[in-house]
């Protein structure tokens, strides 16, 4: 029986999780009070920072998209801006006019694919980076059903899937965005969800199984 496999740990009805990577927090001693803006591009950036420094909640936060903004609100952070693009480089361009004369801190993973810091620096924005988490591949050996749909939600999900599994020609691939798509092997056909969200990926996956 064909299935929809989501390559992270988020729970959705009718979808099976295939956890091929894990998140490890990286603690640091940092004085956040010298910053006027905190930039978040993922929920894991919020979770990891909050695990060792609660003072971030009093500093204006800038979120890449509504899902990230919702987590900031849930944690009682000081949300002041939510992007509309959902792509790192485009988000950076949105931030340029509103971060003038501010000192910003980008909370990020060890490995990132966007060039947020570079773009902002090139436009004379004062910005530092703080690495608060990293992803690492997990061992996975599930028996995968033929004719199934696989949802790749990040470049790390692609990398870690192919460390554990071989691609069967009956499989179908859905990616959350163009950046993630670049990491798929060139011989694999894929579809990109209309919006950069897991919900949209799942809608598309269900259509492919009809």
The verdict on 35 and 95 lying in the same domain is yes
The verdict on 64 and 9 lying in the same domain is no
The CATH number for 166's domain is: 3.40.50.10090
Indicate the pTM of the whole model: 0.80
On the question of pLDDT at 207 being above 80, the answer is yes
The verdict on 37 and 125 lying in the same domain is yes
Helix (H, G, I), strand (E, B), or coil: what is residue 91? helix
Model confidence pLDDT, tens digit, residues 161-186: 999 999 999 999 999 988 889 999 99
What pLDDT score was predicted for residue 179? 83
The verdict on 131 and 175 lying in the same domain is no
Mean pLDDT, rounded, for 11-17: 93
Domain that holds residue 157: 4-20+140-209
Model confidence pLDDT, tens digit, residues 94-142: 999 999 999 999 999 998 878 999 999 999 999 999 999 999 999 999 9
| Domains in the chain, number | 2
């Amino acid at each position: 029986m064909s299935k929809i496999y989501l390559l992270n740990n988020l729970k959705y009805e009718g979808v099976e999780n295939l956890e091929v990577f894990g998140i490890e927090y990286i603690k640091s001693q940092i004085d956040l009070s010298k910053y006027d803006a905190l930039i978040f591009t993922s929920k894991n950036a919020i979770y990891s920072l909050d695990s060792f420094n609660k003072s971030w909640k009093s500093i204006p936060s800038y979120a890449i998209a509504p899902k990230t903004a919702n987590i900031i609100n849930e944690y009682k952070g000081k949300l002041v801006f939510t992007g509309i693009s959902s792509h790192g480089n485009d988000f950076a361009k949105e931030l340029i006019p509103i971060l003038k004369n501010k000192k910003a801190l980008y909370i990020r993973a060890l490995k990132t694919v966007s060039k947020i810091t570079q773009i902002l620096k090139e436009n004379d924005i004062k910005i530092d980076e703080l690495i608060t988490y990293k992803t690492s591949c997990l061992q996975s050996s599930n028996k995968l059903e033929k004719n199934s749909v696989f949802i790749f939600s990040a470049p790390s999900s692609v990398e870690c899937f192919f460390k554990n599994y071989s691609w069967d020609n009956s499989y179908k691939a859905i990616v959350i965005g163009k950046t993630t798509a670049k990491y798929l092997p060139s011989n694999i056909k894929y579809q990109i969800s209309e919006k950069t969200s897991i919900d949209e990926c799942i809608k598309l996956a269900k259509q492919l199984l009809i």
